[in-house]
């Protein structure tokens, strides 16, 4: 198989929904669209309470360089602009839209444009206007990734179809059902970046998707199924054998990585001027009646999605936004689905283990794909030695969770590293 990255783990895949086609969920009664769904500054609100909105209408515009637009995902009336629970940040300003039960799109939605003749600038603009962000989870504004600064030549565009998180199958289904849109989106990216080569990286547990893409004539590398194969730096290493330098970005080694979902969204944005107003979400777990993939409007409360999947089976103990390795456990089910929400997991049965002392077993060191020493950093962070933690590379941690996954003492290592990072950043600001 292809040159691997060091470390990583093999959690049970449990991709039980990989054969269930995406079901479209109708517009919910109410959506809570956060102005911050991406890395960077929240969008600037363009509407006020009482405004009528249509599907696809821009309700927030990018504020500054690293930011993204947000759009109304249903047609109706803005009933409030208020702080509301947010799956990632805890609380965030949201535009609350009450639906009017119509499917009216904003007037300037186009049908089937001819995109052949569009210039790079026009393509990039269409993507910016549509509020496209990375749909793999990190939600980095795509137009920023597509505009590398002068001097950074991009030779390779990598499209990430790994979906290495266990349980999630949203990307897999997308690749199966909309391969053409994904490929065309990728080619749009390639054109914007002027990259000589385009390669798809797909884990070898999705051989059907690999076949479809190969049949369509694009270059696909079948990658070993290993978590976190889909992490940007590990993927680049596996495909190009290039190592992104510490603190650097993929563009430093001449490449850019985009997720398959992002490609599809960008294609829709360019071809139909359709903004990012919905996404595919894998709903799974013993706590929800039907496990399946659902196309959900952005801003739909998680509870409504669970209702659409037949409701709860019992009393849920844990609701996760995202995958089991990197997803975020939620306080309540009123948080909305946002652009980066790849999964909703509902569990009735969970096992909680009391953390024990670190027994220096080194499992975490062996598992860390970033070559860190989690046990050391954990010790440093818990003793509040943040400068030492920084030296030991806490900022290099990608929070993949491999270390905590293998830790026999059940130490919540990632929790410490997130805290440690925040402290290091806080110190460097002072």
Q: How far is the CB of 88 from ligand SF4 (least distance, A)?
A: 17
Q: How far is the CB of 84 from other proteins (least distance, A)?
A: 16
Which residues sit at the interface with ligand SF4, rule CB under 6 A?
A: 358-364, 367-368, 370, 372, 374-375, 378, 397-403, 406-409, 411, 413-414, 417
251 binds, among other proteins, ligand SF4, none (CB under 5 to 8 A by kind): none
378 binds, among ligand SF4, other proteins, none (CB under 5 to 8 A by kind): ligand SF4
Cis peptide before 228 (omega within 30 of 0): yes
The interface with other proteins within residues 55-114 (CB under 8 A) comprises none
Which of residues 58 and 390 has its CB atom nearest to other proteins in the complex? Answer: 390
Which of residues 213 and 417 has its CB atom nearest to other proteins in the complex? Answer: 417
Do residues 342 and 325 make contact, with C-beta atoms less than 8 angstroms apart?
no
Q: How far is the CB of 115 from other proteins (least distance, A)?
A: 37
Q: Which of 103, 310, 349, 422 binds other proteins (CB under 8 A)?
A: 310
What is the pattern of x (binds other proteins, CB under 8 A) and - over residues 380-399?
-----------xxx--x--x
Q: How far is the CB of 108 from ligand SF4 (least distance, A)?
A: 44
Q: Which of 222, 372, 377, 389 binds other proteins (CB under 8 A)?
A: 372
Which of residues 45 and 254 has its CB atom nearest to other proteins in the complex? Answer: 254
Q: How far is the CB of 98 from other proteins (least distance, A)?
A: 19
The interface with other proteins within residues 105-134 (CB under 8 A) comprises none
248 binds, among other proteins, ligand SF4, none (CB under 5 to 8 A by kind): other proteins
411 binds, among other proteins, ligand SF4, none (CB under 5 to 8 A by kind): ligand SF4
Region of 44-52, 61-69, 179-187, 310-318 interacting with other proteins (CB under 8 A): 310-318
Q: Which of 358, 377, 380, 389 binds other proteins (CB under 8 A)?
A: 358
């Amino acid at each position: 198989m292809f040159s691997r990255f060091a470390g990583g783990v093999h959690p049970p895949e449990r991709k039980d929904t990989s054969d269930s086609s995406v079901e479209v969920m109708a517009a919910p009664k109410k959506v809570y669209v956060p102005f911050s769904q991406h890395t960077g500054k929240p969008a600037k609100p363009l509407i006020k309470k009482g405004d009528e909105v249509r599907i696809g209408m821009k309700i927030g515009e990018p504020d500054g360089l690293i930011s993204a637009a947000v759009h109304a995902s249903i047609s109706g009336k803005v009933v409030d602009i208020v702080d509301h629970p947010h799956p990632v940040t805890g609380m965030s300003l949201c535009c609350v839209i009450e639906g009017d039960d119509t499917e009216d799109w904003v007037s300037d939605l186009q049908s089937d444009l001819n995109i052949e003749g569009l210039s790079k600038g026009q393509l990039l603009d269409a993507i910016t206007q549509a509020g496209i962000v990375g749909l793999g989870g990190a939600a980095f504004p795509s137009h920023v990734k597509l505009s590398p600064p002068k001097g950074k030549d991009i030779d390779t565009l990598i499209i990430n179809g790994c979906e290495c998180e266990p349980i999630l199958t949203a990307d897999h289904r997308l690749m199966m059902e909309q391969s053409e849109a994904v490929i065309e989106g990728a080619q749009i990216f390639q054109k914007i970046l002027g990259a000589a080569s385009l390669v798809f990286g797909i884990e070898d547990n999705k051989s059907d998707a690999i076949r479809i893409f190969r049949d369509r004539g694009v270059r696909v590398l079948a990658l070993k199924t290993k978590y976190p194969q889909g992490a940007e730096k590990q993927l680049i290493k596996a495909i190009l054998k290039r190592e992104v330098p510490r603190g650097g970005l993929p563009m430093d080694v001449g490449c850019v990585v985009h997720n398959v979902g992002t490609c599809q969204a960008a294609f829709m944005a360019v071809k139909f001027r359709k903004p990012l107003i919905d996404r595919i979400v894998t709903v799974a777990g013993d706590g929800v009646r039907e496990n399946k993939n659902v196309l959900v409007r952005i801003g739909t409360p998680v509870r409504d999605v669970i209702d659409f999947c037949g409701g709860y089976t019992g009393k849920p103990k844990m609701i996760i936004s995202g995958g089991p390795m990197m997803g975020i456990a939620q306080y309540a089910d009123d948080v909305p689905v946002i652009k980066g929400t790849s999964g909703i997991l509902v569990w009735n049965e969970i096992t909680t283990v009391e953390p024990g002392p670190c027994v220096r077993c080194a499992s975490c060191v062996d598992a860390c794909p970033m070559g860190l020493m989690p046990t050391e950093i954990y010790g440093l962070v818990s003793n509040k030695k943040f400068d030492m933690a920084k030296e030991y590379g806490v900022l290099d941690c990608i929070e993949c969770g491999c270390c905590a996954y293998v830790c026999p003492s059940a130490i919540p290592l990632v929790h410490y590293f997130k805290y440690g990072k925040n402290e290091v950043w806080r110190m460097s600001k002072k």
